Amino acid sequence: MSNFPIPHRINDAVRRCFIWGIALNVLGPIVAVYGPKVFASLAEDRITNQVINPGLDIVDLLITTMRWTLTPLGCSLIAAGIVIRVLGSIVVSPPLKDTDFDVLPE
């Protein structure tokens, strides 16, 4: 890592990636555990009364999509924050001087 300061906008992007990544990693398992229970409680009338409710299919699709995507997306955001931080410190480092190339090893 370089000793040069990283621009404020890079730090903000890294902070947002970490906050959203952690939030999605916390929300993902909660939805995975309680999502099916919520759907089962909503679907009780459908099973007992043979009521056709197309809204339940949408809720099922939504809960299933959330169960499969929240945690991987959170991990991806945390990894993106790390990459932004590392690449931001490399890009911000000062350019080499012309005299750095004058001395070649023999």
52 domain residue, yes or no: yes
2 domain residue, yes or no: no
Helix and strand element counts for the chain (H, E)? 2, 0
64 domain residue, yes or no: yes
Query: CA 45 to CA 39: how far, in whole Å?
Result: 11
Range of the domain at 77: 8-90
63 domain residue, yes or no: yes
97 domain residue, yes or no: no
Is the pTM higher than 0.85? The answer reads no
* pLDDT tens profile 80-95: 999 988 887 776 555 5
- Note the residue count of the chain: 106
68 domain residue, yes or no: yes
* pLDDT tens profile 30-84: 999 999 998 888 887 666 666 677 788 888 899 999 999 999 999 999 999 999 8
- The total number of structural domains in the chain stands at 1
3 domain residue, yes or no: no
84 domain residue, yes or no: yes
- The greatest distance separating any two alpha carbons of the chain, rounded to the nearest whole angstrom, comes to 88
